[in-house]
Structure 1
């Protein structure tokens, strides 16, 4: 089990979205949870989001996977990287590296990105719009981080698949060794390249943009057929300037728009559904043979575990803990079963050990768990 050598609470107060920093020895005696060969194996999978980036002789190239054996057989000795997004969805060992950060709000967590680079490998200078903890695994990597200055840095297109900037003056210029952590808030330019074959693990946190909220809310309104009404104004009168939108009509139309936005329940359900959906594909596989409530009961009663799919988001509002949102779906749980909602949102395993005998003493609880298993959200090994 991985354990941070720093207090996350203290870190958030001092650094979160304020300034980048390096935490030397953030993980003591760090051991890589995955080998370069295993990472290469993931890049061959159709369902896994992977990339290959090279910069030999400053000729930048980028490709998306999946790749095959031929790709690995023809690689040069320098200046390339393989990158896998959401590696925590596909590799159990890699998923363990996320657990030390689980006290952060789950809806903010995006994914664990893993990069293997040979000497000189990297993706070039760039700016991200999310918070990231970059954990150094095997090998060493040289990192430079500049100051945040909106509009100062010019984008350059060395390759259409790479969003890079021209250059920046470094305020952090250091070498990361195994167990070191580099934290970078949104908007700070940075560049890292391997000094030797090395692994980097990026634990990313991303909030939605205002554009995303508006766009997704519009989709949500349409999907649920809300606001399917036209403006009703029986007091309409003629006007001399017939090309003019009257102030009264404007207020009426804006009022229609605000009516849904002012509906607290609609907004809460929308936020729960949207924020519970992962940006990356999940390893959700519905069982070929449906589980029965009796089978699930027997499994739990015998001390068995039921595991949540890695990366799956199960969220609940603080004000309504008995409505749980899972991967965009809403589950209403009876108020007397608050413990079930807590189990779904705050644990990766459902079992008697972390709940108690009450888990198997209510048929509604067993029925809900059975439904989650048959949807592929939780599973029995």
Structure 2
């Protein structure tokens, strides 16, 4: 599956549109077939470990209900939308919709939300703080997208629903199966279903400085780092005690910024933070620990190792510091294990042939058995 960019290329898209302006590509995916149908999506929304919600708009009265759902009949035949988060964690076909966007680093990709809307269904005009690609599946939907506009009023028609006032649209199109819509952060948009329709939203995480600094502080607390107090051992008599002098300011500033100058520490934090999955994963931990001998036997029989759906992996190979991060954990990497680490980071299916050069090294054996016995890779991942 590949995006037909028409007159664009991935390079020109990134240069001219990415985080700059919205874009609609009609027929981006020729002969597009839905990765999941409405009944399957409804089945996922019945599970208590999968985040879902239904947003309805009856006679201009907005309502939000959170799953799990046992019955959908109360919502009627129109004016409501079912949204299910991280469907790519439970459907390989939905997970494959991420592949066309691999010209953007894996760490930026968050998840694939799937929505089913009845005629008139939508969530109202709103803003998102992240980039999103929306693939139109079954049905048709009218999309309006505007430019960033600080004058837009924030509306809260329900305690669980944030909207904005209506805006001037720079895109006003009806999307059909296979059409692709790109919406940058802070661009108001509104989608209203014309008939029963399915949309696939490939979202990208974009942490703010506030989120990163807050999470980094938690990381330091959890790991008991930088607990030493401000060093005041060289204090001199103060001529102006009511003022903070330059020396004190620099000392305090150094206390605060020392952690950010430790590259190994920042790398460890970022790797763990950016690979932490915020929705349930279907981890498949073996009933009994698998040895490397047994793993080799299974591979020799033609079985293939797959990463669990929705898994996040990052290989950081900067300077002399090399680490593989998977699902919020770090794994040491050196010259012996770098090739296996690269294979794992790509999340490609692993065959006996691909692993041939890895499974005879003790370090690689340890890495491979660890990720399998943690349930991160398995021989059957549906």
Place the TM-score, normalised by the shorter chain, in its bin: over 0.9
Contact 2:77 2:118 in 1 (8 A): yes
Alignment partners' CA distance in 2, 1:302 and 1:362: 21
Identify unmatched segments of 5+ residues in structure 2: none
CA distance in 2, matches of 1:27, 1:76: 32
Q: Secondary structure at the match of 1:350?
A: coil
The count of residues paired between Structure 1 and Structure 2 equals: 376
2:339 corresponds in structure 1 to 339
Matched-pair contact (CA < 8 Å) for 2:325–2:331? yes
Which piece of structure 1 moves more, 198-207 or 239-248?
239-248
Map of 1:113 onto structure 2: 113
Deviation at 1:281, TM superposition (A): 2.5
Hey, what's the Cα distance between the residues in 1 that align with 2:25 and 2:212? 34
Residue of structure 2 equivalent to 1:352? 352
Aligned positions of 1:203-242 closer than 5 A: 203-239=202-238, 241-242=240-241
Describe the superposition over 1:323-351 as per-residue Cα deviations: whole angstroms up to 9, x where unpaired: 10111111012312221011011133222
Alpha-carbon offset, residue 312 of structure 1: 0.9
* Aligned equivalent of 1:129: 129
Task: Give the aligned partner of residue 45 of structure 1.
Answer: 47
Residues 133 and 182, structure 2, Cα contact 8 Å, conserved in 1: yes
CA-CA distance at 1:223 after TM superposition: 1.7
Shift of 1:372: 0.6
CA distance in 1, matches of 2:277, 2:10: 24
The equivalent residue for 2:167 is 168
Residue aligning to 2:283? 284
Q: CA deviation at 1:15?
A: 1.2
The 5-angstrom pairing of residues 288-327 of structure 1 reads 288-319=287-318, 322-327=322-327
Shift of the alpha carbon at 1:243?
A: 4.3
Cα deviation, residue 288, structure 1: 2.4
Aligned-pair CA distance for 1:302: 2.8
- Counterpart residue number, 1:24: 26
What are the equivalent positions in structure 2 for 1:72-151 lying under 5 Å apart?
A: 72-149=72-149, 151=150
Match of 2:363 in 1: 364
Alpha carbons 1:127, 1:165 under 8 Å: kept:
yes
Which residues in structure 2 correspond to 1:261-272 (within 5 Å)?
Answer: 261-272=260-271
C-alpha separation in 1, matches of 2:12 and 2:352: 34
1:241 deviates by 4.6
Report the alpha carbon displacement of residue 235 of structure 1 after superposing the two structures with TM.
2.3
- Shift of residue 280 of structure 1? 2.4
Contact 1:322/1:335 (CA < 8 Å) preserved in 2?
Answer: no
Q: Are the aligned partners of 1:136 and 1:178 in contact in 2 as well (CA < 8 Å)?
A: yes
Q: 1:36 matched to which residue of 2?
A: 38
C-alpha contact 2:119 2:196 (8 A) present in aligned 1: yes
* 1:158 matched residue in structure 2: 157
Equivalent-residue separation in structure 2 for 1:143 and 1:344 (angstroms): 38
Query: Are residue 8 (structure 1) and residue 10 (structure 2) matched?
Result: yes
SS at match of 1:98: helix
Provide the secondary structure at the position in 1 that maps to 2:358.
helix
1:239 shift after superposition: 2.9
Deviation at 1:315, TM superposition (A): 0.4
Give 1:107 shift: 0.9
* 8 Å contact from structure 1 (residues 352, 359) kept in 2: no
Q: Root-mean-square deviation (CA), in Å? A: 1.6
What is the CA–CA distance in structure 2 between the aligned matches of 1:170 and 1:295, rounded to whole Å?
60
Deviation at 1:305, TM superposition (A): 1.0
| Deviating more after overlay: 78-87 vs 232-241 | 232-241
- TM-score under structure 1 normalisation? 0.94
**Normalising to structure 2: TM-score of the pair?**
0.94
Deviation at 1:4, TM superposition (A): 1.8
Check the 8 A contact 2:89/2:95 in 1, yes or no.
yes
Q: What is aligned with 2:61?
A: 59
